[in-house]
Amino acid sequence: MILALLAVLGTTIVVDPSGPVRTLTAALALARPGDRIEVRPGTYREPLIVVGVRVEIVGLGRPVFEGGAHSTLEVTADSVAISGLVLQDVIPSATEDRAAVLLRGVRGCRIEDNDIRGAYFGIYAMRSANCVIAGNRLRGPRRTGGSSGNGIHLWQSSGMIVRGNTVMGHRDGIYFEFVRAAEVADNVVEENTRYGLHFMRSDSCSYAGNRFERNGAGVAVMYSRGVAMTGNRFERNHGGSAYGLLLKEISDAVVRRNQFSGNTVGLYLEDSNRNLVEGNVFRSNGWAVKVLANSSDNRFTGNLFEGNSFDASTNSRTASSGFDRNWWDRYRGYDLDRDGLGDVPYSPVRLFSLVAEQHKPALILLRSPFVDLLDAAERLMPMLTPQALADRHPLMRRPR
């Protein structure tokens, strides 16, 4: 009975450069399910380390594992926990996705509080479920093109939690493909060379409380349904093709209480339908919102638009999306019945934005008296801007 109890509780194996067990590979060869492996401070250089038994691996004093032309840790057992390690320098490959931590077909694993530096891919989960990736700090090599992988990469996985990580210097900070019911919360993703978040063909996922800042092209969410994006910050994503948030072929999503500030384009909708955009702040963007004509039945309500060069833009005079009960800093209407709603509709699509959409060099005239004249003429005789995108009940009071 005592032996059975010890098997359940597990034992502790200590890895020490000067001790009897000097490598993590040797410790794993001794380990049984439920054991705890403590790794003492030092620098460890080992071939690919395969974690094929349910253990807890804990780094004491931030031990360093040097990578190479292979993944550093490959986890193939369920319910493995890895924390407190420094994993660095995984060499790029044109034929395989090498990662500092590779989760291969596992369930219930926890990868927490690790430092990953200069890795091709940071944490890569394939065909895995119900794992937690939390509190890690990933700093990529800042390479461009195929020599740079993604920070946290999930493929064909479900029920994953990605929380409280800091990711910078990779190709995409966080990348999802064929992922279902995942939660991405409270991460800081900045200065990645392409997207802060790149999300494809992944339904019923939620993103809350993240900050995406100064990434090459912002955040792209594509080909998915039922996505909730709440309380995120999309900031200072600049460039000719940069967006705070790009929605492409997205349906039935909720974009609520986010902040879009200092982006070339705050929110861009292409071929996206029936999405609710509610209670967001669009401040100091080039274009706050771009809604292409192939996007339909999207609702914008309760949003704040302030200090943007263009509040809204489209590529067609016809539109089936609509604005209602938003606050606009350029609105100059009145409220005679004092119900808090403007008595005169507001058209957020400026005539000059249509000109600039067709002729980009015209943007040099943005602050000129000519543009003010165009705006005044369109207010008096609104014939060219799409009235379908007019806000029929603009808010008179600035939302808090």
Q: What is the pLDDT of residues 365-393, one digit of tens each?
A: 556 665 566 666 566 555 555 667 889 99
CA distance 174 to 219: 10
Q: Identify whether 387 is part of a domain.
A: no
Q: Identify whether 279 is part of a domain.
A: yes
Q: Identify whether 183 is part of a domain.
A: yes
Q: Identify whether 109 is part of a domain.
A: yes
pLDDT at 395 over 50: yes
Q: Mean per-residue pLDDT for 274-289?
A: 97
Q: How many domains does the chain have?
A: 1
Q: Identify whether 350 is part of a domain.
A: no
Confidence class of residue 355 from pLDDT cuts 50, 70 and 90?
low
pLDDT reported for residue 356 = 58
| Whole-structure pTM value | 0.90
Q: Mean per-residue pLDDT for 26-34?
A: 97
pLDDT reported for residue 146 = 67
- Domain enclosing residue 124, as ranges: 13-329
pLDDT at 2 over 50: no
Q: Identify whether 356 is part of a domain.
A: no
Amino acid identity of 276? L
pLDDT at 225 over 50: yes
pLDDT reported for residue 366 = 58
Q: Mean per-residue pLDDT for 289-293?
A: 91
Q: Identify whether 368 is part of a domain.
A: no
Q: Mean per-residue pLDDT for 76-100?
A: 96
CATH code, domain with 94: 2.160.20.10
Q: Identify whether 358 is part of a domain.
A: no
pLDDT tens-digit readout, 154-183: 999 999 999 999 999 999 999 999 999 999
Q: Mean per-residue pLDDT for 346-363?
A: 65
Q: Mean per-residue pLDDT for 307-322?
A: 83
